[in-house]
Structure 1
């Protein structure tokens, strides 16, 4: 992962540390490649949520090819994913898709293209042997790798392409950052983004059925009382933690709590259905209604065709 650029279009800001959805860009990209056997970050060390290997190009700031060469020195893998540290929407599924596409092709690398069809060589999987061969040729030239653009390397590689405008979206400008921050708050993304941010903040690596938990919260709110929703989901999490904390434990605790909330709702409906007849079936002889009329008498303002037991507000 190349994370040591100068970010000139951001006025020299610390781009890997810029927050999208409350998380630094670097942390978001690290989360997308959490399953990697080795993760090498080419940059000065900083606090990150998981263990990585730090590397630095020589000289520091020597450009993307020098940084790539520095990173490759820390891996013996046959295939490598090369990423920039400014990809707010990169997901683990996209990374796995790149790696899965490479072995079955005769290409030296598989990269994503953006919304405009442009190659994104820093969102790609490569054969390490092809990268090292190309870097060695370029390093033998005047000045070595320092200051050379990435296209000097990729121009000599056979590349396959996958269109993915979301995973390849990178934040080069403040407008890009504003766009990313707005997108994660859109209706279709905000819950997933929030759950990912909370898990990252709390150090939780657990995939659960969020739909089931939302259904539980709804049933608790409707069947019991609105404040029961957050309290119930908290208790489900606590119970699941005591039971081992895996997705199955969460699912089982949620199932039990949902069933209980539905039983409460059923009791409330039964009570509401019988409340209108309570105290009338066994009324003592001579008892009168609330308006003083004799039993069976029709109130003056009652609708003549009202069905027995119909509520006045029934639709």
Structure 2
């Protein structure tokens, strides 16, 4: 991903799921090649102006910006991470994305790159999304991997997301809302990305296939 990209964007990394099929082991702290999945995802979005992580701050091994305003120095020269939680916790990815949009408020970055933290190869998908936005700024863009659309590997127009989140709040909130329902008002196009780049870790079998392991104790 080029540092000269004309696309100005913030990034949201979703890391607050229950990981029920992993026996409660947080996906954010699983490791690949010696790095946590959360760190790998934050490195993948390092060209973002701001990085917002929706999930428990204790999942971060590199520090960040907490709700009390305290900061620590992240590893590898990354941007500080801003941590928020959906309300209530574990309200689902739509609620998590809504919390991030609310947190960013009136930030003037026109794009929001949304990534789940359980896709260890997602860095391979991001350039295609940014290239699509650089060529046509009138739509949002969602990764399509092997015929499957990935709403949690996508580059959204921030104005469209704000409108969608505002509509959801007016209708009762985003808790347990599906991503499809949240995005009903968002115009998006599917962009083909490298095969397997959005493969995610839902089970230990997935983890083994993707070279992911539990954090050493």
TM-score norm. by structure 2 comes to 0.76
| Number of residue-to-residue matches in the alignment | 179
Q: How many angstroms does 1:159 deviate by?
A: 1.5
| CA–CA separation in structure 1 for the residues paired with 2:189 and 2:211 | 31
| CA–CA separation in structure 2 for the residues paired with 1:7 and 1:132 | 28
Is the aligned partner of 1:101 residue 2:132? yes
Q: Could you say which residue in structure 2 is the equivalent of 1:136?
A: 166
Q: Could you say which residue in structure 1 is the equivalent of 2:120?
A: 88
Which of 134, 154, 157 does residue 186 from structure 2 map onto?
Answer: 157
| CA–CA separation in structure 1 for the residues paired with 2:88 and 2:178 | 15
Q: How many angstroms does 1:21 deviate by?
A: 2.0
Is the aligned partner of 1:57 residue 2:86? yes
Q: Could you say which residue in structure 1 is the equivalent of 2:65?
A: none
Q: Could you say which residue in structure 1 is the equivalent of 2:154?
A: 124
Q: Could you say which residue in structure 2 is the equivalent of 1:47?
A: 61
Which structure features the higher share of helix residues? 1
| CA–CA separation in structure 2 for the residues paired with 1:2 and 1:124 | 12
Task: For 1:136-215, list aligned pairs within 5 A.
Answer: 136-142=166-172, 144-164=173-193, 165-181=195-211
The alpha-carbon distance between structure 1 residues 53 and 106, as it changes in their structure 2 partners (threshold 3 A), is closer
Task: For 1:1-315, list aligned pairs within 5 A.
Answer: 1-45=13-57, 46-48=60-62, 49=75, 50=78, 51-75=80-104, 76=107, 77-91=109-123, 94-105=125-136, 107-115=138-146, 117-142=147-172, 144-164=173-193, 165-181=195-211
| CA–CA separation in structure 1 for the residues paired with 2:152 and 2:53 | 13
Q: How many angstroms does 1:59 deviate by?
A: 1.5
Q: Structure 1: state its 5+ residue gaps.
A: 183-315
Q: How many angstroms does 1:157 deviate by?
A: 2.3
Contact map agreement 1:65 1:135 (CA 8 A) in 2: no
Q: Deviations over 1:234-264 (max 9, x none)?
A: xxxxxxxxxxxxxxxxxxxxxxxxxxxxxxx
Which structure features the higher share of strand residues? 2
- Larger RCO, structure (CA 8 Å, separation 6 or more): 2
Contact map agreement 1:7 1:13 (CA 8 A) in 2: yes
Q: Could you say which residue in structure 2 is the equivalent of 1:252?
A: none
Contact map agreement 1:108 1:130 (CA 8 A) in 2: no
Q: How many angstroms does 1:136 deviate by?
A: 1.4
